[in-house]
Amino acid sequence: MKSSNLLSLANVAKEAAKNAGKKLLEEFQRPQEVLLSKGRDIKLAVDEIAEKIIIDCLKEDSKLPILSEEAGITDDLGSEFWVVDPLDGTSNFSRSIPICSSSISLFKDGNPCIGVIYDFLNNNLYWGANGMGAYCNEMPIQVSNVSSKSEGTLMTGIPAKDHYSNSEFEKMIDYFQSWKKVRMIGSATMANVFVASGKADLYQENDIFLWDIAAGAVLVKEAGGKISISEPTKEFRVNAIFSNGLLW
């Protein structure tokens, strides 16, 4: 894809994320209508409201199909499509914990090539595109230079699924032992942003949904880091590792 086309589509995504973020900011700390609370999953009416804003914006300025957390697939995806998470960190949002964002990515030939994450509570718009670098409010960002886990910060999480085996947690705890600090903040997109901007050093999570990490992958890569995303399952779950390039 030509850089001019990439930049044009990145601007479409940025505008869509900002429009959704404006509505989410208005709703933050207000009583929320809960549409679903089952097991470890929660869905709010505002998720769907923000999603509609984003999808309407994307459809107005592009003809590409969309994969979104709430609406699913709008058309046959083909080789090029948008991936949308209108509100990542819904549980945080529902409890007025100020760690959440709107996220939009463009996939082409199986790989993310544009990533936009809007931290609407702090008015920080992060974006990146293949070969163009990564930015926060149009200022370049870059990954850290920490080269030892004993001095590093790991960002991770526990995906919303029904059951975890004891062995899964044992492996997780064993892995944690090698890090100086471990952080679980309830928002994969913001965890990715922290790696891309050098505030943390590696993000790793298994069975995470593609829409939670697609945009962050672009940001980390374009900020000088290294990324790995497994082949998505039928439910669009993946294993993801994003690092500063020194710790993995």
pLDDT tens-digit readout, 41-86: 788 899 999 999 999 999 999 989 999 988 888 778 888 999 999 9
| Residues of the chain falling short of pLDDT 70 | 1-4, 159-162
Residues of the chain with CATH 3.40.190.80: 149-243
Which distant-in-sequence residues (6+ apart) come within 8 Å of 85 by Cβ? 68, 69, 102, 103, 104, 189, 209, 211, 212, 215
Its pTM stands at 0.94
Query: What is the architecture, at CATH level 2, of domain 3-140?
Result: 2-Layer Sandwich (3.30)
Q: Of the CATH numbers 3.30.70.1450, 3.90.1150.10, 3.40.640.10, 3.40.190.80, which one belongs to the domain with range 149-243?
A: 3.40.190.80
For residues 188 and 208, is the Cβ–Cβ distance under 8 A?
Answer: yes
Residues of the chain with CATH 3.30.540.10: 3-140
Q: What is the distance between the alpha carbons of residues 184 and 204, in angstroms, rounded to a whole number? A: 11
Find, among 235, 243, 236, 248, the residue nearest to 216 by Cα: 243
pLDDT for the residue numbered 39 = 72
